[in-house]
Each structure stands twice: as C-alpha cells, then as structure tokens.
C-alpha cells in the first residue's frame, strides 16, 4: 500500500517527485497546526496577565509568564456564588469516575464471559437488548432517572452519579469483553469443565489472566466517557457534587465581575489534563476503544 506513490512517481522527473513530497509534508504540517492551535492558544493565554490579554495578540507568546491564573483556576475562581476554583470539583470527578469505572468494568467482564462462553437460550436476545441501550440518546431517560434518583434518596449525590454511569456504561463494557472473549476457543472452557472447574473458577484462573489488554481498553474508554461527561453531571448533581466539566462551564459562564480569560483557559486545561494524560500514555488502547466503541459488533 505504502509504496504506491513511489512506483507511480518513477515516471515523473526526480525534481517533480521531491516537490510533491515537500507539498505533502507542508499540507500535513498545516493540518497539524490547525489541530494544535487551540491547545497552544489555551496554554499561552493561561500564562498571560489580563492586561497583556487585552492589549496583545491572540497567538503571541506571553511577554511575562505568570501562574496567577492557574492558582486562581485551581482554588479561587467562582462558580456562581462559591469561589473555590475547580479543585473540589476535580476531586468530585475522581470520586465519581473511580468507582463507576471499576464497577462497570467488572460487571462488563462477567457479562461478556457469560454471553461468550455460557450461552443459554435467550442469551443472544439479552445481549442484543443490552447493546441497543448503548445507542439511545440519553435525553430519553433523563426525566424518569431524575425522579428515580429522588425516590432512591440519592438525587444530587455522588453515589447517584456513580449509579447512573454504571447503568449506562454496562452496554459498552459488556460488548468490549464479549467481543474479546469470543476469540478465546470454547474448547478451553469445555476442557476445564471436564476437569471439574466451575463457572467462577474458570473465569478467575483462565479468563481473567488473559484479559489484561481488554481491561485496559475498557478502563480507558469508561474513564474518558465518565470524566468528560456533562449531560448526567449537569442534570443529576447539586451545588457541592458537580463534576469538573460542570464547574468549568459555570466558571466560564459566570456573569459576575471581570471576565478572566486566562483563568478560564487554565481551568479548561486542568479539566482536560487527566484524559489528555491517559491519551498520551496509552494512546494505542484509547484508539482501540474508540474504534471498538463505534464500529460495534
């Protein structure tokens, strides 16, 4: 595949080939600038003082680097009436994400194991019904969920948000594990059964040790989804329990006082750091989750 350009370019003159190559790299470079520009602007803006922002250029480097905006964003910026920065909300997001990721991944592994290796009559229909749940626009469950959380006594709480994320993450986590486990030969399960191993024993000593890659993919997928969630966060939280995305939006759109763009940008970067970090460290698994999560089946 990759040598097409070479072969067809043989008919062209050597200089033509070099010019084409240069044009190609310039085009790729320009696109890279397009994708990097917002991140660059966010970082430089967050390091400037408000005076410099008002008088300066959008894409200019800061004349004087200051971390005041970062300090304010972390612990002093106002989300409505409270002025504690994003710190408490960042913490909320962690408190929501960790249990929700752990529970939904564990349940997904068990479900996927059943659907792939312990098929019973109706298992296929159950799996299809669960898979279908991945596709619904969540608006269609917002109203009854708000009432149900109220009835359960966990409306506006962190456990409430964990519960919601687990429920609506189940379809995907089950799908991930099911698709991974169907590639493990059924003979393995059969042989283990003959040897007298039971359901949990086989899962624990055969499947789990083989599962590391899919666990990584699932954890990254769920973490990114939950950390970046806004719809559930804004619908089902209250003043003290909002996740960081909701707090960021409140800081940016708070109408009181002077608009502090540098603080907005610093807060946005802080909110983005965990998922960016995951992407940089484990990009391969992140992409695998994306493609598995979108090209379903």
Partner 1 sequence: MTKWLEENTPKLVLAPSFIAVLIFVYGFIAWTAWVSFTRSRLLPRYDIEGLIQYERLFASPRWDTALNNLFVFGILFIVIAMVLGLVLAILLDQNIRTEGAIRTIYLYPMALSMIVTGTAWKWILNPGLGVEAMVRGWGFENFTFDWLVNPDMAIYTIVIAAIWQSSGFVMALFLAGLRSVDGEIIKAAQVDGIPTWRIYTAIIIPSMAPIFLSAFIVLSHLAIKSFDLVIALTGGGPGYATDLPATYMYAMAFSRGDIGQAASSAMIMMMVVFAIVVPYLYSELRSKDD
86: closest CA among 251, 203, 265, 294? Answer: 251
Q: Which residues contact 133 (CB under 8 A, 6 or more apart)?
A: 168, 170, 171
* In the complex, minimum distance from the CB of residue 187 to partner 1, in angstroms, rounded to a whole number: 18
> Angle CA(37)–CA(43)–CA(49) in degrees, nearest 5?
125
Instruction: Give the residue carrying structure tokens 């409140």.
Output: 250
* In the complex, minimum distance from the CB of residue 285 to partner 1, in angstroms, rounded to a whole number: 12
Helix (H, G, I), strand (E, B), or coil: what is residue 228? helix
* In the complex, minimum distance from the CB of residue 157 to partner 1, in angstroms, rounded to a whole number: 17
* In the complex, minimum distance from the CB of residue 128 to partner 1, in angstroms, rounded to a whole number: 6
DSSP string, 155-198: TBSHHHHHHHHHHHHHHHHHHHHHHHHTTS-HHHHHHHHHTT--
What are the residue ranges of helices labelled H in the chain?
4-9, 14-46, 50-55, 68-75, 87-117, 123-132, 139-152, 158-181, 186-194, 199-202, 208-210, 212-228, 231-236, 244-253, 261-294
* In the complex, minimum distance from the CB of residue 251 to partner 1, in angstroms, rounded to a whole number: 9
* In the complex, minimum distance from the CB of residue 41 to partner 1, in angstroms, rounded to a whole number: 6
Residues 77, 250: Cα–Cα separation, whole Å:
10
């Amino acid at each position: 595949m990759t040598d097409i350009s070479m072969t067809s370019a043989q008919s062209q003159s050597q200089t033509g080939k070099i010019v084409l190559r240069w044009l190609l790299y310039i085009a790729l470079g320009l696109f890279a600038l397009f994708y990097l520009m917002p991140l660059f602007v966010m970082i430089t803006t967050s390091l400037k003082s408000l005076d410099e922002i008002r008088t300066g250029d959008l894409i200019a480097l800061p004349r004087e680097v200051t971390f005041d905006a970062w300090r304010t964003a972390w612990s002093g910026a106002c989300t409505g009436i409270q002025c504690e920065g994003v710190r408490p909300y960042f913490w909320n997001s962690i408190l929501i994400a960790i249990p929700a990721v752990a529970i939904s991944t564990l349940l997904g592994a068990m479900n996927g194991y059943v659907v792939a290796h312990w098929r019973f009559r109706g298992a296929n229909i159950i799996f299809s019904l669960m898979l279908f749940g991945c596709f619904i626009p969540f608006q269609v469950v917002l109203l009854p969920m708000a009432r149900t959380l109220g009835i359960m006594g966990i409306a506006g709480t962190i456990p409430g948000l964990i519960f919601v994320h687990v429920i609506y993450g189940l379809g995907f986590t089950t799908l991930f594990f099911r698709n991974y486990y169907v590639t493990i030969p059924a003979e393995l399960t059969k042989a283990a059964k003959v040897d007298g191993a039971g359901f949990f024993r086989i899962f624990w000593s055969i499947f789990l040790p083989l599962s590391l890659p899919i666990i990584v993919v699932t954890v990254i997928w769920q973490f990114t989804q939950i950390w970046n969630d806004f719809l559930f966060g804004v619908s089902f939280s209250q003043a003290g329990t909002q996740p960081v995305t909701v707090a960021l939006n409140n800081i940016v759109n708070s109408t009181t006082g002077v608009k502090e763009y540098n603080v907005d940008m610093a807060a946005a970067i802080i909110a983005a750091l965990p998922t960016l970090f995951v992407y940089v460290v484990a990009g391969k698994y992140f992409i695998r989750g994306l493609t598995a999560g979108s090209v379903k089946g």
